[in-house]
Amino acid sequence: MNYPSKLIEQAVLEISKLPGIGKKTALRLALHLLKQNEQTVEGLTGALSRLKKETRYCERCHNLSDGPLCTVCASPSRQENVICVVAEVPDLIAIENTGQYRGTYHVLGGILSPMHGIGPEELQVASLLERVKSAGEEMEIIFALPSTMDGDTTSFYLMKLLKPFGVNISTVARGIPIGGELEYTDEVTLGRSILARVKYDFGG
């Protein structure tokens, strides 16, 4: 593509480094920003700079945080003896948005992946063990990791490490999504959901 000026070319180059944004979209965004006043553009660039420079991570669970502890860990109403282990912050946000979970989290910062050279040292595994080790009460650990080969490997690895501490370990339920069409559910999910069928409880 021909760009009318070096400045716009440079801006397109930088914007198109973002995931899912191609050169055409980048050009559209750059030309949109050019039409905005300086304050709007500074609002964006300032927010991004501050995000990178000033972002802190929770000392306990490695969630994004404004202070030493994140809002979840700092809240007195959350069950500290329940830890949900997630790979990344977006997973934590997704679970928080359900409003169904009252425990705490532990953000690993990824999953084990020998292919990409990511071992336990690259993840927040040691600090998870430390939290369990130093807990004064019985702990429950919930794995909410990706349902991929690497995700399962990570769950299995952590399970073996955590077993000696006598904690309750579970993983999030897999099955047909609520509102999902049976017909269009992939075979693996459908197969698992039949094997892991849930019995109706008719009460008394």
Cα separation of 200 and 9, whole Å? 62
Token pair recorded at residue 188: 């693996």
Taking the complex as a whole, the smallest distance from the CB of residue 3 to a second copy amounts, in Å, to 7
Residue 190 has a CB neighbour count (10 Å cut-off) of 15
Q: What is the CA radius of gyration of the chain?
A: 22
- Looking at residue 117, its amino acid is G
Taking the complex as a whole, the smallest distance from the CB of residue 194 to a second copy amounts, in Å, to 32
| 41 counts as binding a second copy under rule CB under 8 A | yes
Please identify, using beta-carbon distances, which residue of 27 and 128 lies nearer to a second copy: 27
Please identify, using beta-carbon distances, which residue of 27 and 162 lies nearer to a second copy: 27
Find where tokens 């700092």 sit: 74
Cα separation of 154 and 145, whole Å? 8
81 touches 104 (CB < 8 A):
no
Taking the complex as a whole, the smallest distance from the CB of residue 145 to a second copy amounts, in Å, to 17
| 34 counts as binding a second copy under rule CB under 8 A | yes
- What is the number of residues in the chain? 204
Binder to a second copy among 81, 82, 88, 152 (CB under 8 A)? 88
Taking the complex as a whole, the smallest distance from the CB of residue 140 to a second copy amounts, in Å, to 22
Contacts with a second copy by CB under 8 A lie at: 1-8, 10-11, 13-15, 17-20, 25, 27-34, 36, 38, 40-45, 47-56, 63-66, 70-72, 88-90, 92-93, 96-97
